[in-house]
Amino acid sequence: MMAYRVLLLCLLLCAVPLTTTTTTTTAQEATPLPPPAAPAPVALLQGPGVTVELFFEQLQQGTMGLVRATGDIAEGRVLFLNRQYDFVRLGEAWYAFVVAAIDARPRDYTLSILLRSSAGTDSTFDRAITITSASFLNLNFSLPADRAFLTDPEVERNEFARLDVLIDAIRPERLWSAEGFQMPMQGEIISEFGQYRVLNQNVQTRHTGWDQQAPVGTPVAAMSRGEVVFADRLDIRGNYVLLDHGYGIFSGYAHLSQVNVERGQTIEKGQIIGLTGNTGRSSGPHLHWEIAVNGEWVDGMVFLRTWLPGEGSGSGLGSGS
């Protein structure tokens, strides 16, 4: 991992040209990944008529963990890091997607699970969860003079506030494909999630996604099935598309030269939603893509390796796909 970070830092600082595979406008040219395998729980908690399974003992900054509950359950929620995560029902089981925020301090925290039965009986479980450091990189980032105004912290605050309204919304249904999520395009990774960036040696910010190098006009595919909730221009992200995949999961695609979709449209996994570009707070052509879960930006690469329950996921995790 350390060698990878050193190599990545050299590429960013030296601006070494990278070879990019040319893609066509067909959905088949996106980068498919095999669906993550259904995991085994690491902790089992039991109460009167209910069973709770945790699939994590610790969470790295900027990652998501899965909690599953079965039994006589009418509703439930998880309390963690001053946020509430409601359980959602998929098949015979209930799931909660819990997030360690990108800026969460590494230490132990209490995770509380509250379940209510159909008869109104409450069950409560507490568990210590460790948040570990992601060892995010620190980088200097320079913008050309004609885009220097985009380093204004107020511009960034306004844009995040606008997006927060969207990614805080919880659609009570699963839209993502049963096969999960895929990379939005082929192309070398040139910048990773969570970096601390100093813009023009003046303003510090955080990088909420991953960057892939690509010439202007490279097709960008939807990472999974979802509904377009934003397709317009933003100051920092430029031409931007945000897809709602249901139950608080979103994917975003930034700096596009062309947007091929519109708000309210249902998009299938692999469908071309736009073309790469250099719009917004960008110093060269590339794709910035990002994932949000329950109102928090998470590491998209880790998310792609995370199993998600599919339609009809029952009491055995292996039944979800």
Cα Rg of the chain (Å, integer): 20
pLDDT at 269 over 50: yes
Q: How many CB atoms lie within 10 A of CB 241?
A: 26
What pLDDT shows up at residue 278? 96
pLDDT at 38 over 70: yes
| pLDDT confidence tier of residue 320, bands split at 50, 70 and 90 | very low
Give me the CATH code for the 43-134 domain, please: 2.60.40.10
pLDDT at 311 over 80: no
What pLDDT shows up at residue 314? 38
Please count the CA atoms within 13 angstroms of the CA of 319 that sit on its side-chain side.
Answer: 10
Distance of alpha carbon 72 from alpha carbon 91, whole angstroms:
13
pLDDT at 14 over 70: no
Distance of alpha carbon 310 from alpha carbon 175, whole angstroms:
10
Residue labelled with tokens 């359980």 = 87
What pLDDT shows up at residue 33? 61
What pLDDT shows up at residue 268? 97
The domain spans of the chain are 21-34+135-304, 43-134
What pLDDT shows up at residue 178? 87
DSSP character for 208? Answer: -
% of the chain beyond a pLDDT of 70: 85
pLDDT in tens, 278-302: 999 998 999 999 999 999 999 999 9
Please state the separation of Cα 213 from the chain's center in Å. Answer: 19
Under 8 Å between Cβ of 270 and 225: no
* Whole-structure pTM value: 0.85
What pLDDT shows up at residue 156? 92
pLDDT at 146 over 90: no
What pLDDT shows up at residue 291? 98
Q: Kindly report the backbone phi and psi dihedral angles of residue 312, in degrees, each rounded to the nearest multiple of 5, phi listed first.
A: 85, 10
What pLDDT shows up at residue 34? 67
pLDDT in tens, 167-213: 999 999 999 998 899 999 999 999 999 998 887 777 778 899 999 99
Which residue has better confidence, 42 or 140?
A: 42
Residue labelled with tokens 């070494």 = 16
Mean pLDDT of 236-247: 97
Four-CA torsion 163, 166, 167, 173, nearest 10 degrees: -160
pLDDT at 321 over 80: no
Distance of alpha carbon 110 from alpha carbon 131, whole angstroms:
11
Mean pLDDT of 154-165: 95
Residue labelled with tokens 């309204």 = 165
pLDDT at 83 over 90: yes
Architecture label for domain 21-34+135-304: Distorted Sandwich (2.70)
Under 8 Å between Cβ of 283 and 46: no
The per-residue pLDDT of the chain, averaged, comes to 86
CA distances for 189 relative to 14, 209, 213, 297, angstroms:
15, 11, 6, 18
Distance of alpha carbon 141 from alpha carbon 286, whole angstroms:
15
Q: Is the C-alpha dihedral spanning 172, 174, 176, 181 positive or negative?
A: positive
pLDDT at 79 over 50: yes
| pLDDT confidence tier of residue 20, bands split at 50, 70 and 90 | very low
What pLDDT shows up at residue 283? 87
Give the DSSP H or E segment for 90. strand 88-90
Give the DSSP H or E segment for 146. none
Contacts of 258 (CB under 8 A, 6+ apart): 217, 239, 274, 275, 277
pLDDT in tens, 43-74: 999 999 999 999 999 999 999 999 999 999 99
Angle value at C-alpha 237, between 200 and 308, nearest 5 degrees = 120
